[in-house]
Amino acid sequence: MATEGETWTTVQNHDGVLSFDDDVDHPYGDEDEAALEAEVNGNWTPQEKALHEARLKAKAKRRVRKSSSRSESLSESLSGELADGDSHSPKGKVPVPNDRKSRTGKGRGLPKKGGAGGKGVWGAAGMVYEVEEPDVKDPNYDEIAQGDTVYATVVPELDERELEKTVNPIVQEYFEHGDTKEVQMLLKELNLGHHKYEFSSLAVSLSLEGKASHRELTSRLLRDLVGKELSESDMARAFDKILKELPDLMLDTPEAPQMLGQFIARAIADHALPLAFLDRYKGKVDCDHARAALDRAAVLLSMKREMVRLDNVWGVGGGLRPVKHLVKEMNFLLKEYLVSGEVKEAERCLRDLEVPHFHHELVYEAVVMVLESKGDTAVKMMCKLLQAFWKIGLITVDQMNRGFQRVYDELPEINLDVPHAHSIMESFTDLCYQESVITKQLRDSCPSRGRKRFVSEGDGGLIKN
């Protein structure tokens, strides 16, 4: 039975055994519970005993939770009393928006960092930072970098294979534009090292396989490089190497000894080689080809005792020569052809000029020579020459038409010196048309003399058609 002020509940399970409800505190103490457990254990089955032990453990856990919650409520009540008594404590204040003071109660109530610093800020105004000495224990400490270190771009030195691959495109491009200053700029960016002299030997070797204009450009390049990128000793070493390789160069260029002799003479005249270069080889040359090259250079220099530049050693240098000089060469070519009649020689001379864009001048000079000549020999020979150049494609349609058109435009002025210029021109254009040298349109555009002549009086004064 329950005493006054105490309540407890019993529940009968399905086996008819009484058990206490877990939600109600039992009136027995610990000793009574132990006695009751000892009394009942004798009549419980193992399953009932395990269930009873689990309920006891759950009840003990609930008691622990209740005791902890009671202690927390007690501490909160005590802190509330302290807050009411101390108005300066941060715990007792109401939080203010945008308040930068500490709310933890651990600070001194001052702004953070004294009002300086913050996100994206270096520090307070007027603050001067001292130079910090590097820490030896720093993992990024570099002992070499702490001294007076000078950083510079280092270009690796080119070996022989890389040198040839690098220099060949530079020289080939120079043959197209002819600007020596650009070559100097490119050489400054390269580290040729002790192979610097090989640039000159490679340039000369490439020009030997090219045209006369390429050799002229190479001579100018050697002249401009001496004293800037190359020295006279470097140039002498380059020609020494070419003389040793002369037998191999002759396999591709049979005229290599004569051309090399002209290179040496031109370089000495341009002060690119020392004057004593030829004297070093006197009586010391065993190769016949090298001896022929040196003899060629000595002969050319003996012809120019005043040491003027041998500008014409490579002939006419294409478009690099003045127009007056080209016109003079073409006149000489045509006059020599009228004397010899050799078409092949005239073709070779015209190709050596290397001015395909100026071939209309040859057509113009040939037609003018026909108008100023006497007899039919010049007419037939010039027609044969123009026909030969037309068939092999040396003179194009545009160049042919332009040359004839220039004569058509100047025919009135030519007629002042050659009275029969119109009639000669008509007969020459007809012959060229028959030989398929010019087109029908070009022949029909030939100007005719516009003078009307009257017949005799017996014809009734009619105009002759």
228-231 contacts at long range (C-beta below 8 A, 24 or more positions apart): 228/184, 229/184, 229/187, 229/188, 229/196, 230/196, 230/197, 230/199, 230/200
Dist. CA 223–CA 230, nearest whole Å: 10
Q: Which domains does the chain have, with CATH numbers?
A: 160-312 (1.25.40.180), 323-445 (1.25.40.180)
Listed in sequence order, the residues at least 6 apart from 338 whose beta carbon sits closer than 8 Å to its beta carbon are: 369, 378, 381
Strands 10-12 and 18-20, bridge-based pairing: antiparallel
pLDDT at 194: 81
Please tell me the predicted confidence (pLDDT) of residue 101: 57
Q: What is the pLDDT of residue 153?
A: 76
β-bridge partners, 226: 230
What are the backbone dihedrals phi and psi of residue 170, each rounded to the nearest 5 degrees, phi first?
-65, -45
**Do the beta carbons of residue 382 and residue 343 sit within 8 Å?**
no
**Residue 166, amino acid:** T
Q: Tens-of-pLDDT digits for all 465 residues of the chain?
A: 344 444 444 444 444 444 444 444 444 455 445 545 555 555 778 888 888 888 888 888 888 777 766 666 656 555 555 445 444 544 455 556 666 655 565 666 555 555 566 666 676 777 777 777 778 788 887 766 656 666 677 777 777 788 888 888 999 999 888 888 998 898 888 888 788 888 888 999 999 888 888 888 898 899 888 888 888 888 999 999 999 998 888 888 888 888 999 899 888 888 888 888 888 888 788 888 888 998 888 888 887 544 445 666 676 555 566 788 888 889 999 999 999 889 999 998 888 787 888 899 999 999 999 999 888 888 999 999 999 999 988 898 899 999 999 999 999 898 888 888 888 999 999 999 999 899 899 989 888 765 544 455 454 545 544
d(CA 12, CA 104): 57
> What size, in residues, is the chain?
465
How many other C-beta atoms are found inside a 10 Å radius of the C-beta of residue 388? 16
State the Cα–Cα distance between residues 255 and 294, nearest whole angstrom. 14
Interior angle at CA 189, CA 184 and CA 192, nearest 5: 90
pLDDT of residue 4: 41
User: 226 by DSSP, 3-state: which?
Assistant: strand
**pLDDT at residue number 5:** 42
Q: Is 254 exposed, middle or buried (0-12, 13-18, 19+ CB in 10 A)?
A: exposed
Helix axis angle for 256-269 and 232-244, nearest 10°, is 170
Contact indicator for 123, 117 with CB cutoff of 8 Å: yes
Amino acid at 142: D
Amino acid found at 203: A
Cα dihedral 170, 210, 289, 222 in deg (nearest 10)? -40
Q: What is the dihedral of CA 331, 332, 333, 334, to 10 degrees?
A: 50
